[in-house]
Amino acid sequence: MTPNTRTAQLHALGQSLWLDNITRALLASGTLQRYIDELSVTGLTSNPTIFDQALKGSADYDAEIRTRLQQGQSGEALFFELALADLTRAADLFLPVHQRTRGVDGWVSLEVSPLLAYDTQSTLAAARDLHARAARPNLFIKIPGTAEGLPAIEEATFAGVPINVTLLFSTAHYVAAAEAWLRGIERRLAAGLSPDVASVASLFVSRWDVAVAGKLPAELHMNLGTAVARQAYKAYGEFLASARVRRVMNEGATPQRLLMASTGTKDPKASDTLYIEALAAPFTVNTMPEGTLKAFADHGRVAAPVPADGGDCDAVLAAVRRAGIDLDALAAKLQTDGAAAFVKSWHELLGQIASKSAALA
């Protein structure tokens, strides 16, 4: 059980390495525990697509599905029972990390139904219910950082529910999510409640480069996602240094962390560790697909962390704008398309549950 040097160095730099995957086999085989022990993995994220893939090619869930069917459960309710079973088991594996870091790290994430993305009250109700049912201190509930999701993020934070804000694509998206978390914390302080409600803000990286493929000069190829993320990191540092955040930290709050998501390289001609190496930064998270984690463990390297000022991000973004890309419009489109893709994945997941249920009934 020798820790991998590359992943250990990235973790020692101050970044948390999370796995963007979960399957029952990953848990039962001991693979997740091995990633914790050997690859410095300290957390895990999930989404409807990941669970759909887990169910598709495996009989690992069949016995529990049969039992749930006999208990009268089906559809979405059945799915959440399966998901909670996996994620609470994973949360228990990460509990030593969570305790050692006093709640900063060691988290797993479960998403509310994306069908609720534009319904604030229903999102809040689902978040509270799922967190209560999990009964784990280290489980985040994922809520999209859409305009409709932001009030639910604030209300859930005020209610003491730890939130992973997902579907963020720009610095403006990140700042809006951070401020929603902060308002919830400030309201807790005003009400005499503990301000220590953890959160992460998940910025999606690779989809930027997919969206502009073939539309930029060669020197800007595969640079946009990194530049957007580095600009958000600069804003993140400024947010942490603000008087409002320092006040709540002084009262005992653990500040929301920036999470780099969608960091698997989509272009087969580009480095498979591109976004991991380019976005190494202290007091952040990088949640990576299993293949990307293994690739970095095999041949990744980190020369230096992201500069606090974002390095050349502003120059790159200015060049992209000069090339005719409206970054604000593209960020809005990526968020809208991302929400639609999650809904599509959700319907596919429920279809998979229905077909499995019919076969096993």
In whole numbers, what is the pLDDT of the chain averaged over residues? 95
Residue 284 sits at φ, ψ, to 5 deg, of: -135, 175
Residues in the chain predicted with pLDDT less than 50, given as ranges, are none
Are 293 and 287 spatial neighbours (Cβ–Cβ below 8 Å)?
Answer: no
According to DSSP H, which parts of 220-326 are helical?
224-240, 243-250, 274-278, 290-299, 313-322
Q: What residue type is assigned to position 147 of the chain?
A: A
CB 17 within 8 A of CB 286: yes
For residue range 137-178, list pLDDT tens digits in order: 999 999 999 999 999 999 999 999 999 999 999 999 999 999
Residue 142 among the catalytic residues: yes
Q: What percent of the chain has pLDDT over 90?
A: 90
Q: Domain range for residue 281?
A: 5-360
> Could you report the per-residue pLDDT of 207-254, keeping only the tens digit for each?
999 999 999 999 999 999 999 999 999 999 999 999 999 999 999 999
Which pLDDT does position 3 carry in this prediction? 81
Answer for the pair 146, 117: CB distance below 8 angstroms, yes or no: yes
> How many domains are there within the chain?
1
Question: pTM to 2 decimals?
Answer: 0.96
Give the pLDDT score at 284.
98
CATH number of the domain enclosing 212: 3.20.20.70
Alpha-carbon distance values, 68 to 56, 72, 354 (Å): 18, 6, 13
Question: What is the Cα–Cα distance from 200 to 287, expressed in whole angstroms?
Answer: 11
Residue among 56, 142, 266, 333 flagged as catalytic: 142
Place of tokens 């009262």: 251
